[in-house]
Amino acid sequence: MNTEQLLTLDAWQAVILLTRRELKSEDLVRACLERITERESEIHAFAHLDPDAALATARALDAGPVRGLLHGLPLGVKDLFDTSEFDTTYGSSVYAGYRPRTDASPVALCREAGAVVLGKTVSTEFAYFTPGPTRNPHNTAHTPGGSSSGSAAAVADHMLPLALGTQTAGSIIRPAAYCGVVGFKPSLGRVASGGVKSLSQTMDIVGGFGRSVRDVGLLGAVLTGDKRLSGWSEAALPRIGLFQTPSWPQADADVQHAWEQAARILSAQAKDCEDVVTPDNFADLIQLQKNVMTFEVARALSHERIHHRDRLSAPLNNLLEDGMAMTGARHAEQLSQVADWRQSIDALFENHDVLLTPSTTGIAPEGTATGDPLFCRSWSILGLPSVHLPFTTGQKGLPVGLQLVGRFGQDHHLLAVAQWVHERLTR
Amino acid sequence: MNTEQLLTLDAWQAVILLTRRELKSEDLVRACLERITERESEIHAFAHLDPDAALATARALDAGPVRGLLHGLPLGVKDLFDTSEFDTTYGSSVYAGYRPRTDASPVALCREAGAVVLGKTVSTEFAYFTPGPTRNPHNTAHTPGGSSSGSAAAVADHMLPLALGTQTAGSIIRPAAYCGVVGFKPSLGRVASGGVKSLSQTMDIVGGFGRSVRDVGLLGAVLTGDKRLSGWSEAALPRIGLFQTPSWPQADADVQHAWEQAARILSAQAKDCEDVVTPDNFADLIQLQKNVMTFEVARALSHERIHHRDRLSAPLNNLLEDGMAMTGARHAEQLSQVADWRQSIDALFENHDVLLTPSTTGIAPEGTATGDPLFCRSWSILGLPSVHLPFTTGQKGLPVGLQLVGRFGQDHHLLAVAQWVHERLTR
């Protein structure tokens, strides 16, 4: 295979060849490194790279036994995850030169499954809104989104097939949408998160990016320990809930048209496609997510807030100040509300296997601001699994897609339906 | 005040004097250090100490403005929390000499509130069951319990008035009971846990130890950001649910007698004291907690499991192996069951402000094994706040007490009732 063929292989295709020893990990890693060399000065997807170490790891995998579901696959790791073999800076100068002792749990699990960590991908400052240098591969005048900016951009630009990310508000789904790749956020609580810089003790979740649904399923299977995420069979005809959500008026024409077009296509083929009856007060979830996050981030980043205020961005300092002004009494009430919501939302899935809903308000904005997680906040606080599927293009040819949301714990079913949907949307 | 008076001051009393500048933090810290010097060779409560740094911090606090709720108070920090000014070894030789870059969020919050970190207290190996060197101050042939062994023992032995701990199964309530101090585990999700070594992403919770209910309330107020935990007014006459739980037959005579005696005393004074109707299948929570914990610990400690197996204890290696053999599919089901339980358990609190239940199966066992968290597992997985109250003594004069469990998010009310109860039990 030539370099271009290697770079356009899906991860699930590559891992079959790697496992059969019909493809060398070293060749795949080398192709990725060539692509990175060619493109990185424009895209700035990486915070830290170590090509020699990656090649050495690949050669060792080629020479040894097959390790697991990710055997020999190049992997990007958001620079919010501790790594023992790369510096880890959480998108902040506060951690310049910091080398953790230990790999974060998800990184260790991926390496155990045979992944070759190519490098650390750019995160916004502590996974909040202040952007890193990464640019959108489809148009470098535009943001790739955040906070998993580098992971989404690197996968979109074929620098690597798979990358890890995290979401607290919209940090997986939004950059996946802006960069036109598949993003997957598992159900809350399914992934061990030790060694991942904590923002919110009640909402942080680890997930990832790929260029196909099967690819994020591979990664998801390793992260959750649930093999069904990588080995589903064709879904029965799904029941799809069409859910514009109360935020619909904030979606622009690109997003609204894409959603309507998808709803038309799927209505003709699904078992059923019905409008979701919006739960009472559903719109309140947006502000609830913001409040819980603000309270928790201010305390999670206490050390930085107290000792390094002068090295934090103004927006982050403002957030931390707002959070410290909030009371724990309100936070306790909010956690009770969240628990009630998580329980009651399950009823939505009695009639729908998945919900079809927007991912973003529009295409990736021009400039550096990382965009609005409006359409992700509710699903983040509800802890439901979700997938972003690329679908079409909007203004300036930039990607537009859709979000599918699944029932809690039914991540494998969500992915099976997402595969079914994606095939029908991209035919 | 002489040294003995200083060492028997409750934290809430000391902080009033410290805030009024009627007591110097330096004097209090010095008294604690003297006690530690005298006793540490017998008790082994500390993993890492830095007397000079503590004294310097105390002097700086004495010379500066009043910082917060913990102004000038000596604090012990379980060696499971990252600290930038002390080595952090998580009870394992794997981390010998490890000095984190950053204080864990709870440590930073306590220091911000004026606490003087005296040292790191012994944790069992990664907060699981393999004990450290700590001995029970009441009888050094007996365990102090685990995993927050050093924190409980240091507070019990008057080495310091307050200490941080964590609980996943029973690691706060059990050592508090064995050592005869007050232990407090807040509602799940209320405390930011960044930089605390993760065992279970769905059950870990940070709390602490003191010698009075008011003292753990001070610490709880700082950890949760909820001032009501330190500033409650006298509770109205409480409604107490008497709950032996299905594990009652495993409680020995000491524990059963203590519980029955407490129930008699409280029945005469509370608004009402009624037997709790055991929820259907409540006994299943024990195994559910074990299963979720085993699955999650095996993944949380992936780096150690993969790279340092030879430096982990045999019991921990066995646990990790068991956990890796469990499927993520089962884990997802279990998380759904847990969510249902957390919702349905709330009904218990419609008729009861708190539940009175055993803390342990008996006194601290002789030897080094850290004892059984049987009576804590259900409350850990349910995420409810709980308090251990010392009450009486059992065999060999070792402490026996009781556990009070509160409604989710009503930590302040639990503490107010606990204070009311404790006053009546210790009169």
A296 CA: distance to closest CA in chain B (Å): 7
Looking at residue A192, what is its pLDDT? 98
Contacts of A333 in chain B (CB under 8 A): 409
Both tokens assigned to A390: 């690329």
Asked if B306's CB is within 8 angstroms of A226's CB, the reply is no
pLDDT in tens, B152-189: 999 999 999 999 999 999 999 999 999 999 999 999 99
With CA atoms as reference, report the closest residue to A176 among A155, A193, A190, A197: A155
List pLDDT tens digits, range A10-46.
999 999 999 999 999 999 999 999 999 999 999 999 9
Residue A376's identity, in one-letter code, is C
Going by DSSP bridges, is the β-strand pair A386-393/A272-275 parallel, antiparallel, or unpaired? unpaired
CATH of span A1-276+340-427: 3.90.1300.10
Cα–Cα distances in angstroms (integers) from residue A57 to residues A209, A255, B302, in the given order = 22, 42, 19
Q: Phi and psi for A255 in degrees, rounded to 5?
A: -70, -45
Query: Is 80 exceeded by the pLDDT of residue A233?
Result: no
Determine the distance in angstroms separating the CA of B112 from the nearest CA of chain A, rounded to an integer.
8
Both structure tokens of A62: 């080629």
pLDDT < 50: residue spans in chain B:
none
Residue A279 clears pLDDT 80, i.e. is over it: yes
Cα(B184)–Cα(B293) distance, integer angstroms: 20
Whose structure tokens read 């009823």?
A347
Tokens 């309530």 locate to B173
Which residues of B are less than 8 Å from A84 in CB distance? 303
For residue B54 the two structure tokens come to 């503590």
> CB-hemisphere CA count at 13 Å for B424?
19
Q: Which residues of A carry out catalysis?
A: 78, 147, 171
Closest to A185 (Cα-Cα) out of A211, A160, A165: A165
Cβ atoms B273, B355 nearer than 8 A: no
Quick count: other Cβ atoms within 10 Å of Cβ B351?
12
How many Å apart are CA A298 and CA A315, to the nearest integer? 12
* CA-based R_g, chain A, Å: 20
Determine the residue type at B337. Q
| CA–CA dist B315, A303 (Å, integer) | 34
Q: How confident is the model at residue A235 (pLDDT cuts 50, 70, 90)?
A: low
DSSP-derived 3-state class of residue B15: helix
pTM of the model: 0.98
Q: What is the DSSP letter of B94?
A: G
Q: Is A162 helix (H, G, I), strand (E, B) or coil?
A: strand
Supply the Cα-derived Rg of chain B in whole angstroms: 20
Q: What is the Cα–Cα distance from A121 to A43, expressed in whole angstroms?
A: 11
Q: For chain A, what are the domain ranges? A: 1-276+340-427, 284-339
B194·A198 Cβ contact <8 A? yes
B250 Cα to chain A: minimum distance (Å): 32
DSSP code per residue over A164-179? EEEESSSTTHHHHHHH
Strand, helix or coil at A230? coil
Burial of B147 (0-12, 13-18, 19+ CB in 10 A): buried
Q: Is A93 on the interface with B (CB under 8 A)?
A: no
With a threshold of 0.90, tell me whether the complex ipTM lies above it: yes
Q: How far is CA B203 from CA A168, A326, A335, B302, B379, in A?
A: 19, 24, 15, 18, 10
Instruction: Characterize the bridge pairing of strands B116-121 and B74-78.
Output: parallel
Q: Which two tokens stand for residue B263?
A: 């129930």
**Which contiguous run of DSSP H or E holds residue B376?**
helix B374-382
**A194 contact B CB<8A:** yes
Find, in chain B, the residue whose alpha carbon is nearest to that of A308. Answer: B102
CATH among 3.40.50.740, 3.90.1300.10, 3.30.1280.10, 3.40.640.10 for B3-229: 3.90.1300.10
- Residue B395 — φ and ψ, nearest 5°? -50, 145
